[in-house]
Structure 1
């Protein structure tokens, strides 16, 4: 799958640059956002919007959400070039959520460098991140692919529905890691993932189905595929944070034991709390609740995960979810070559090592 990602990433980045150029000027602002009432300050908007976004994009990121969109259009028998502007919508949204999440979580690093609010300040970071929730709506306004009025309305309504649910997921996640007690169970955790991460996946799939004119049934199945795969991706990401910390101190772009330091209630935390003895659970809660952690405390949590089998449990759940994603995909008649790549992605998100 890395070959597919490597092939499409420069194409996706070029398309993003068409809608949010690296160098912003007055003519672009008027064309994309409409004529000013008085006069835009292109220099300010360059530094406040374009520069922060491209600082983040240039650090890396797989662009897998945009690539899934491309593969789905191919699987539907359509030319992805016709709909390429829509592929960047979930990518812009995703990077906007990253910027805001890092401020909310007090994150230090992102993709191997200081989080954007440490580079540009919280005010610019939050404004840029929030702007990226709305920039994709301008793409719909320009109507690439000459969609019907019905299709455009369906896309707008879908985006509003799914974006609202992402904030439900983020709200749950924030509250949980601001609580000392590990009080939530696996169903609540999976619902959080389905909202926070799954909704971005659902946007990818539903948008591909809407702009290519697929039936409601097809839209439901591919949305389920993308949602399950995204939840699996989130669990895989949490496992990767732990395993990298266990192996080499965390060198994949985050702090050592970052999720533990933030007090996040991951599936491994929930499983450990349900499995360990009360004294161990109390110790786990104390460490996750602390404002700062020593490396020894991080090691203690990692030991708890190993002793309770929580890492392997989380991996089993991620694999089960990815299998369910492939089952949902199999319900739809798709072009075989693209369908095979879509299925392969469900394995990639769990088995990746970066």
Structure 2
């Protein structure tokens, strides 16, 4: 899968550029949004939408969701090249969600650089992020793979369902990191992740089944695989934030102790709050809900996560979810070589270094 991530990245970005060009004209806007009744201000639209979006896309990102889509299509014995435009759908949606997420979390960095709302303004960031929820629908109406009407409708309905659920997850997360002394169970955390992060993975999985007109059982299996994979990825991300914070952020591209500063209730924090002594729990809650957090306070939290075994617990949970993801691909008759790559990816998401 590491090879696939490298091999497909350029193709995916080229497809995104076909839909969202770096430089726009009146013709570009007419094709994407329809002709103006009077006159578009192309410079304003480029500044408000296209420039910030490409700023973020050019910073990197693994593109693992579109690559997962393509690998799943390949596993079914179909030609991924035929469906390449559809691979941009989960990546464009993901880009929109992280722009809005950074506003809501008051994040300072994204992919090693200034967050989009800090560089361009909150108003532009929110508008651009929200626009990206709708832009991918153009691919369905353009219908580059000549899908049947029933398939197109099924994709519209799938996207509506999954995108609604992402907002359940994000809303839950917002309340958690703004509420002091809140009781959160591990199952509630996993459900939040299944909605917030898992739904974007599920979109990639379900989309692969829908564009290839596969049976409902395949769609359900791909959705379950991608959901467990996504939650494991999120837990791996939280572990990396702690790991690199212990090394003063390293090359991870996040601020030192970013999740702690934002007061995020990660699986590690939830476990620590359950296992720590009352005085340590009170101290942890006070740091997570503080307006400003010092580096020493972050170090105190990191020490507590180590002392309570919360890092190891998170690793074990991620590994269990990765194994669950692999189980959903069994018995589907997938191409053995691609199946091996998909199984390897479940290890990569929790063993990666960045």
TM interval, short-chain normalised: over 0.9
- The DSSP-based 3-state class of the residue aligned with 1:202 is helix
> Residue 346 of structure 1 aligns to a residue in which SS?
helix
**Matches of 2:216 and 2:168 in 1, distance apart?**
25
* 8 Å CA contact retained: 1:110, 1:253: yes
Equivalent residue, structure 2, for 1:121 = 121
Q: How many Å apart are 1:208 and its aligned residue? A: 0.7
Tell me if the contact between 2:241 and 2:249 (Cα under 8 Å) persists in the aligned partners. Answer: no
Q: Aligned residue for 2:28?
A: 28
1:19 is matched with 19
Q: Secondary structure at the match of 1:88?
A: helix
SS state at 2:328 partner: helix
Q: For 2:347 and 2:14, locate their aligned partners in 1 and report how far apart those are by CA, in whole Å.
A: 28
Secondary structure class of the residue paired with 2:21: coil
Partner of 1:313: 313
Q: What's the counterpart of residue 222 of structure 2? A: 222
Query: How far apart are the structure 1 equivalents of 2:18 and 2:338?
Result: 26
Q: Deviations over 1:237-267 (max 9, x none)?
A: 0000001111234541111000000000000
1:248 is aligned to 2:248: yes
Q: Which residue of 2 aligns with 1:79?
A: 79
User: Shift in Å at residue 341 of structure 1?
Assistant: 1.0
- Report the TM-score, using the length of structure 2 for normalisation: 0.99
Secondary structure at the aligned position of 2:293 is classed as coil
**Does the alignment pair 1:345 with 2:345?**
yes
Aligned to 2:7: 7
Equivalent position of 1:193 in the other structure: 193
Distance 1:87 1:279 in 2: 49
Moved more, 258-267 or 42-51: 42-51
RMSD of aligned residue pairs (Cα, Å)? 0.9
1:1-354 equivalences in 2 (<5 Å): 1-354=1-354
CA contact (8 A) 2:228 2:325 kept: yes
Contact 1:221 1:331 in 2 (8 A): no
- Counterpart-to-counterpart distance in 2, 1:244 and 1:206: 33
CA shift for structure 1 position 333: 1.5
- 2: CA distance between counterparts of 1:3 and 1:31? 34
Decide whether the 8 Å contact of 1:173 with 1:264 is kept in 2.
yes
Question: Which consecutive residues of structure 1, in runs of 5 or more, have no partner in the other structure?
Answer: none
Cα drift, residue 31 of structure 1: 1.5
| Partner Cα separation in structure 2 for residue 285 and residue 130 of structure 1 | 32
CA offsets 1:285-335 (integer angstroms, 9 cap, x no match): 001010111111000000100000000000000000000000011132211
**Is contact 2:202-2:224 (8 Å) kept?**
yes
DSSP-derived class of the 1:13 partner: helix
User: In structure 1, the residue corresponding to 2:135 is in which secondary structure?
Assistant: helix
Instruction: Provide Cα deviations, 1:180-216, integer angstroms capped at 9, x if missing partner.
Output: 1141110100000000000000000001100100000
Counterpart secondary structure, 1:147: coil
